Structure 1
Amino acid sequence: MTGTTGIQQTVTEVLDELRTLDDPRIRAVNEKHGDDHGVNLTALRAIAKRLRTQSDLAGALWATGDTAARLLALLICKPKAFDAMELDTMIREADRPKVHDWFVNYVVKKGAHAEDLRAAWMADPDPVVAAAGWALTIDRVTKAPDDLDLAGLLDTIESDMGTAPPRLQWAMNTCLATIGIESPDLRSRAIDIGERLRVLEDYPTSPGCTSPYAPTWIAEMVRRRQA
């Protein structure tokens, strides 16, 4: 009982600190992207560095449902301590884009269940969960593509990406571009799919940044590698 009280008190203190760091201007920018917090991520990382790894505190922060608290939880948890069922539950709770992204990249990819979950999540009817499966697949395309059916992935992208919900569509488009960049034999087909579906063709891109439109993205990355 004493330990639980101590954790709860610490959670309250951390939440209070996060509230003092909430900047309305940052929140307004984040809300345009679906994230409901206003904490500068550099400041958030500084708190995580101070707290170091604390699994119990991470679990308690995640349980609050607060976006900034969940981001902090992902920075101080032990990724390899989660079993597959816990990870599956958490991805279904990761309803904000930044939480979703950090959870996949900072926790799932570093654990022992990434490959099993990748296959299960890609087939999940929930598009947010499926997007996580595609994000893990992108990592495989880049690092360990030998036993992946890349042509089959392109088949799925070609048939489903055009009508997919935004977060899933973004992940599938990223996979399309990654296949085109990493697999010369499939590059022409990847570009052709991108040109026909025209997904993210008009996405606003800041000067100096590469467009997420797959044909442009593929061409630019290939050019850089050949330079």
Structure 2
Amino acid sequence: MELEEMMARLEALGTEQNRKVYGKHGAKEPLFGVSFGNLDKLRKEIKTNDALAEQLWNTGNTDARTLAVMIVDPKTRTLEQLEQWLDDIDYYCLTDVLVTHLASKSPLLPELLERWTTSDREWVGRAGWQLMAHAAMKSKALGEDYFLRQLGRIEARIHSSPNRTRDAMNAALIAIGMRSEALEAAALAAAARIGKVEVDHGDTDCKTPDAVAYIAKAKSRKR
């Protein structure tokens, strides 16, 4: 599939309403405003295409970059390539898509967790802690002791971390608490000591979930 054809399809799928909504959430121009539902349909159609992914990323278009991280093969990405793409991002939704579709499936997962969660840079830190949340929910390779140590790191740093990093650390706290009963107790205790986590969500209706309430609600759903 040629780049020009895909860009034309993305442009046709974009809407002015989506552009406004994404813009409020921090998406930068150029931007068509393609819904995530339509991007996912394209992902399923294309499957994996590294060459097209690179071309889409290099356009600088936010929709094209979002599709790029959905169709690139996580196994082919080197650390340098992953971090180059992450360095180009200053939009939390694209950061999160990169984590979900690419970083979380990378064989470099342990190294990415170590490198990104220790970063003081807002978007790199966000990616690291969103990746930690994903690992807490999905990874069988990392043990309970590992996640218990992360609770201490979150408690020590969350209030002094950059805005969007702070948001992701709160998500990681919740995810760790949902992993097991033992971690639930430790996460609830940490959340109580942390208290309210303030995150500026800009001109949106997004709210920062209270970790204690969220973990308790998730537990009740499992019963």
Amino acid at match of 1:198: K
Tell me what 2:38 maps to. 43
Which consecutive residues of structure 1, in runs of 5 or more, have no partner in the other structure?
1-6
What is the deviation of 1:202? Answer: 11
1:71 aligns with 2:69: no
Further displaced range: 139-148 or 104-113? 139-148
1:25 aligns with 2:17: yes
- TM-score, normalised relative to structure 1: 0.82
Q: Is the 8 A contact 2:173 2:187 kept in 1?
A: yes
1:191 aligns with 2:188: yes
Cα distance in 1, alignment partners of residues 42 and 15 from structure 2:
16
What is the deviation of 1:25? Answer: 0.8
Amino acid at match of 2:11: R
Spell out the pairing of 1:49-128 with structure 2 (5 A cutoff): 49-128=44-123
Tell me what 1:3 maps to. none
1:153 aligns with 2:145: no
1:220 aligns with 2:188: no
- TM-score, normalised relative to structure 2: 0.83
Q: Is the 8 A contact 1:131 1:171 kept in 2?
A: yes
1:175 aligns with 2:167: no
Amino acid at match of 2:162: P
Taking CA–CA contacts closer than 8 Å with sequence separation of 6 or more, which of the two structures ends up with the larger relative contact order? 2
Shift of the 219–78 alpha-carbon distance from structure 1 to 2, 3 Å rule, reads same
Cα distance in 2, alignment partners of residues 35 and 202 from structure 1:
16
What is the deviation of 1:90? Answer: 1.4
Aligned length: 215
SS in structure 2 at match of 1:182: coil
Cα distance in 1, alignment partners of residues 146 and 99 from structure 2:
22
Shift of the 31–217 alpha-carbon distance from structure 1 to 2, 3 Å rule, reads same
Tell me what 1:16 maps to. 8
Q: Over alpha carbons, which structure has the higher Rg?
A: 1
Q: Deviations over 1:48-76 (max 9, x none)?
A: 33434221111011111111001111222
Shift of the 121–218 alpha-carbon distance from structure 1 to 2, 3 Å rule, reads same
Q: Is the 8 A contact 1:141 1:148 kept in 2?
A: no
Cα distance in 2, alignment partners of residues 176 and 46 from structure 1:
32
Q: Deviations over 1:161-203 (max 9, x none)?
A: 1232222111110111122222433434432433442115999
Cα distance in 2, alignment partners of residues 19 and 111 from structure 1:
30
Shift of the 13–124 alpha-carbon distance from structure 1 to 2, 3 Å rule, reads same
Cα distance in 1, alignment partners of residues 84 and 183 from structure 2:
35
Q: Is the 8 A contact 1:134 1:171 kept in 2?
A: yes
Q: Deviations over 1:22-44 (max 9, x none)?
A: 21111112222222441122222
SS in structure 2 at match of 1:152: helix
Percent of paired sites with the same residue: 28
Q: Is the 8 A contact 1:200 1:213 kept in 2?
A: no
